[in-house]
Amino acid sequence: MDGVGWPTLRATPSRRSDDYTERVPQLRLALNQIDSCVGDISGNTETILRWTRHSAEQGAHLVAFPEMSLTGYPVEDLALRPSFVEASRAALRSLAERLADEGFGELPVIVGYLDRSESAQPRYGQPAGAPQNAAAVLHRGEVVLSFAKHHLPNYGVFDEFRYFVPGDTMPVIRVRGVDVALAICEDLWQDGGRVPAARSAEAGLLISVNASPYERNKDDTRLELVRKRAQEAGCTTAYLAMIGGQDELVFDGDSIVVDRDGEVIARAPQFAEGCVVLDLDLPAASADAPTARDGVADGQRVDDGLRIDRLVLSEEPLPAYEPELSGGYAERLDDDEEVYSALVVGLRAYVAKNGFKSVLIGLSGGIDSALVAAIACDAVGAQNVYGVSMPSKYSSEHSKGDAAELARRTGLNFRTVPIEPMFDAYMSSLGLTGLAEENLQSRLRGTLLMAISNQEGHIVLAPGNKSELAVGYSTLYGDSVGAYGPIKDVYKTSIFRLAEWRNRSAAERGQTPPIPESSITKPPSAELRPGQVDTDSLPDYPVLDAILDLYVDQDQGADAIVAAGYDRGLVTKTLRMVDTAEYKRRQYPPGTKISAKGFGKDRRLPITNGWRESV
């Protein structure tokens, strides 16, 4: 969705008479919720130009773009490469000139980018070159103000202490008679810093530009955060978010604007690029507020040691105008639709941003590959999805039939390549038995998929789910092969729920449900030996997933899990399977992160590890 069709929003925050002079300033704010690609500075520049044009066409007086929108986010070790930092800085200056050349010089534009500190002295433990996660205000062809993120997150997927040095200013720009304070992402998530400093600066509006990754239920947490910070700052607060995907991260948009009392004024769609334009009535800048660039009381530092850096762009309020735009509030997605949308956006971004056109999936007839196929069809189109059924002598007729039925329902490209001749050739040479025989079938399928990938140019999608990866039920160089794992962070119980939601959603729209019902209802099985089902060696998935959630996601120890009501022997067995499978997870492809603790950067454990939870 390009966002042009979004309703443009009008809002009037609650007024208090002591905040206003006789003439109440008006401001039309444009928040551009865009998708940037890491490293594609020229492409991101064109996106920023395009959405600035759109904002200007809507009559905006102030335009904003997300955190590091010029470089993409997160740039990781690119931040430590001087050539990349300088390319970002040069592109910012060029962008300012191009905006002026196109007639937008009088329109202030806030852009996130990668900068470096001019004052930080090299020292041990500081990132080389003192890079900064920064944002700038572009006006009249120049970079008139820049500032760096003050609070640097260093948890979960974030390593910003590794990459950046913090900023120490509280930037405030005066636009059309309104003082606007500026912040970057974590500056809102952490107490102190720029939020109370915005109150000290007597700002009428606080804008935070963000690239905060998606997690389940984070939208509710985010809303409460913005409400709280608006009340602390004492002014209308706009939280502008990024959308799209970058490697394992997904950005869900959901930009929010609330008034000083925490009441929601506007909320943007989730997982969609676009521009939210709001008409705001805001407090006039205080007549005695300092306007010098050296800040309050000759550089006085306020909350958290921040120095107020104030710049006047336009002192006089706009002539009064009658807002012509209707209000709006984007409909929220329910929990399952939200997760499914994140999986679709994550896969689509990975495929497109890495220059691929099509994907390849091994279709077993089971629930995991069926859900991956449905996600892929929604992400890149069924015409670009290639499915291969690779039956062995242990594959049931109903599984082979379910794979073919899935292809019929979705319209994806489908073929069948039996692996039995290859399997027999290996067995005659090696005489494998037991687990080695079972894993051989999986590895033959992995080899076959990679051969087709090399021949035809599709990227292979790995169908493993979080439950399997946790306990090591993923054959190395077999079902773990691929470039991307769309359901890598989804527990098995959620796989079933998402499949049911996708079918139900299709039926409600009068479409054919993509996933055969028997793929959902039959007992899960790898079908690597006669009569095999997953519960031969694993507990029922609701029990397994509950234990895994406590151990993996919540970092609970064995005693705490047993105290939660789970059998001691089962807990011991499960935790040992998790601990001994770390080497497998390290070799699994990247995949969309939807939880607070996915396998990867969120959870970093040593492979060689003698520690075991005692129960």
Residues with catalytic annotation?
67, 149, 185
Q: Indicate the helix (H) or strand (E) that contains 33.
A: strand 26-33
Chain-centroid distance, C-alpha 301: 35
Q: Give which of 424, 430, 422 is closest to 446, Cα–Cα.
A: 422
Structure tokens given for 595: 């939880």
CB 247 within 8 A of CB 263: no
Q: CB atoms < 10 A from the CB of 427, how many?
A: 13
**What is the C-alpha to C-alpha distance for residues 360 and 373, in angstroms, rounded to an integer?**
9
- Kindly report the three-state secondary structure assignment for every residue of 292-307: CCCCCCCCCECHHHCE
Whole-angstrom Cα distance, residue 95 to residue 263?
Answer: 35
Q: With beta carbons less than 8 A apart as the criterion, state whether 347 and 484 touch.
A: yes
Q: How many CB atoms lie within 10 A of CB 605?
A: 12
Nearest-angstrom CA–CA distance, 186 and 208? 9
The candidate with the shortest Cα–Cα distance to 599, out of 482, 469, 463, 460, is: 469
Measured between alpha carbons, how far is residue 605 from residues 563, 580, 602 in Å?
A: 24, 11, 10
Are 257 and 237 in contact, with CB atoms under 8 Å apart? Answer: yes
Q: Which residues of 238-257 are buried (b: 16+ CB within 10 A; e: fewer)?
A: bbbbbbbbbbbbbbbbbbbb
